[in-house]
Amino acid sequence: MPDFSPDNNKLTLKVVFYGPALSGKTTNLMQLHTLLNPERKGELMVLETRDDRTLFFDMLPLGLKGISGFDLRLKLYTVPGQVQHDSTRKAVLSRADGVVFVADSQLNQQDNNAIAFGNLEENLDKVGLDIDTLPMVVQFNKRDLPRVAGERELQDRWADTPWAPLIMASALKGEGVIQTFRSLLDRLYTRVDEEFRLAETHGINRQEFVDRLGRSSKSEVPHGYL
């Protein structure tokens, strides 16, 4: 649920990168930290890791200012993907406003994707959120590796879900990361605008919301392709 504090006119939104272990959630966040050029961008906080595996979470704060001092914050979190950190996943997931599900494209990881997706659904239910109405995008990462599931096949399989079309990515190479993020911003806007009248009250329309938070630092990524 969005956290609005009227005292300082500040709205904080929370987006969680979820997915099976080693699917590239932290890599996504690191690439966003590098590639994004939003209006405001904080430091990427990589909390404790062991052997390069996330123990707590990573967090990247982004922000933009609206008219009359409206302060919009977007905090991007990752969760630890390993099975044993379920209580941490649940704590990070609580009060989320949007979810990016980072799946692993490798053929031998499809079962883990399904297990992690089931775990997401279950944990969302436990923290009082509904997977069918929560703004969410599904990214299939690691397209650069050999022996990955075919895109056509994946798109067909997910065609009848609310999360079609899937976004193909190679986070390590920085491909598809911003596209994923902008797609989420678009879905997130619909929900937040309903409740907080971003366009009417704060002068932030959909295009601005996506551009000012999801602007790329590289000129070759076209502006406002959505």
Partner 1 sequence: MDTFEDDPTLSQLLNAEQLSRLHQCLSKLCREPVMLTEAHPGNDATAVEFNLDTVGWLSGGQGPQEREAAADLVSFLMLFIGKYRLAANLHHDTTEASYAELQRQNEALRESEARYRELSNQLQQKVDEQVGVIRQTQQELYESARMRSVGQLAAGVAHEINNPIGFISSNLRVARDYVKDIQAMLPDSAENRELATDFHDLLNESIEGTSRIAAIVTDLKTFSSIDQADYTRCNIRALLASAIHLVQTEYDHRLRITEQLHDMPEISGHPSRLSQTFFNLLDNAAQALGNSETRDNSRILVKALAQNDRIQITIQDNGCGIPDSHRPRVFDAFYTTRPVGSGTGLGLTVAQDTVRAHGGQLQLHSREGAGTRVLLTLPIS
Contacting positions for partner 1 (CB under 8 A):
14, 40, 42-43, 45, 47-48, 56-57, 59, 61-63, 73, 75, 87-88, 90-92, 94-95
- 3 state SS for the chain: CCEEECCCCEEEEEEEEECCCCCCHHHHHHHHHHHECCCEECCCEECCEECCEECCCEEEEEEEECHHHCEEEEEEEECCCCHHHHHHHHHHHCCCCEEEEEEECEHHHHHHHHHHHHHHHHHHHHCCCCCCCCCEEEEEECCCCCCECCHHHHHHHHCCCCCCCCEECEHHHCECHHHHHHHHHHHHHHHHHHHHCHHHHHCCCHHHHHHHHHCECCCCCCCCCC
- The CB-of-165 to partner 1 minimum distance in angstroms stands at 31
- The CB-of-69 to partner 1 minimum distance in angstroms stands at 13
Instruction: List residues bridging with 104 in a β-sheet.
Output: 141
- The CB-of-56 to partner 1 minimum distance in angstroms stands at 5
- 8 Å CB contact between 141 and 24: yes
In the complex with partner 1, the residue whose CB is nearer, 62 or 166, is 62
In the complex with partner 1, the residue whose CB is nearer, 3 or 144, is 3
- The CB-of-74 to partner 1 minimum distance in angstroms stands at 10
CB atoms closer than 10 angstroms to residue 160 = 7
- The CB-of-38 to partner 1 minimum distance in angstroms stands at 11
Instruction: List residues bridging with 152 in a β-sheet.
Output: none
In the complex with partner 1, the residue whose CB is nearer, 40 or 155, is 40
In the complex with partner 1, the residue whose CB is nearer, 3 or 195, is 3
In the complex with partner 1, the residue whose CB is nearer, 8 or 219, is 8
- The CB-of-7 to partner 1 minimum distance in angstroms stands at 13
In the complex with partner 1, the residue whose CB is nearer, 56 or 209, is 56
